[in-house]
Structure 1
Amino acid sequence: MIRFEELQMKIMDAAKNYLDVFDMATLIEQYSLNKESKLSMTLPEIKPPYPISATVSFSYNAHQTSFSILLDEDDVEDEEEHFDNMVEVEVVINLPFIEEYNQLGELFEEIVNEYPDLDPILIKKEFFRKDLVQGGEYEIVYSYMVGGEELKDLQFYEEMFFELSNILQKIYDRMKFYIDISWYRADEDDSF
């Protein structure tokens, strides 16, 4: 089992080859000492505010954390049958919030068809404003179960972020017109 920080840096290094990482957080649960890493990223050409972004996260429970710190690589070989060294790397793509965009289902279907191995799901988070106007934010979520030698394989991370950058680019290209209209309309002077 590789160390938490080593996996975090492998993911960060691979992500920077394809995307612009704008936030990185490490969360440590005070009592259990479980650790979680979250990296937020977007396409290099997108400037704040980021209409489309992705978050890649993984966590180690306390046993995995101590296992990765205390044991040498040789010990891992002997202990592997007694320890689950799998890590779930979760990818969440935050889709742009655009009112009246009605082609989201088609776009999601295209992504599912192009990347069937990812087994992505589309999640809608509904919210209500004070004026009782209903809205929603959409996310595409998928994950990888990584373990053993794959945790150390740089090629795996390169492929993961190459796919993610292609998915983000496809979404951005399809929604750019609507993003420009709805996100930047407030910047225009409507007084004429």
Structure 2
Amino acid sequence: MISQWGLRALQAGEGVVDVGGDPGFVAAELLRENIPVTVVDPAFGASGKSDPQTSEILRLYRQFEGTQFRLIRAPLNRAFVHDPKHRRILRGASAMVSLYPDEATDNCLYFSAAFDLRTVLMPCNECQRYFPSHNPTYEGFVQQCLKDDAKYSRVFRNAPMTREHVKDTPFCKVILQRTPVGEC
């Protein structure tokens, strides 16, 4: 994200919104770079996947909750966005990141397009229940995400997401990213 958009861009405004950010790995890395982060996850801390180092960093930053680190235990959905406080966070966000958003996938695509956010989204390869019935594979899911995003992007007249390939990752090799027009 830093190499794509720059440190200063990510530090701007409300900082990065991390959707479904449990167990906090992304938030911890953003905080290390002095990038404000808001984690939006109704079940944050419940996965049991956190490591001691990440837990310690997040514990330290919770002292500064409201400035560098915010935790909102709520799903990203229309009700979330209708709350003026949450809407302000999305409007002022420097970027949105969501790794394996599961049930939040479509809302991430929609609100990313609606707010024209720099976005990194890694579709979940394990949640087959979200795979489209006409092509029930991970590739089918990625294609469906791109198709849905293109539809939302047309409605809001914003740049659609592009598909990127990630090297040296143990799981998913696909990232969808949006860079707003004028930043390309």
Question: In terms of Rg, which structure is larger?
Answer: 1
TM-score by length of 1: 0.31
TM-score by length of 2: 0.32
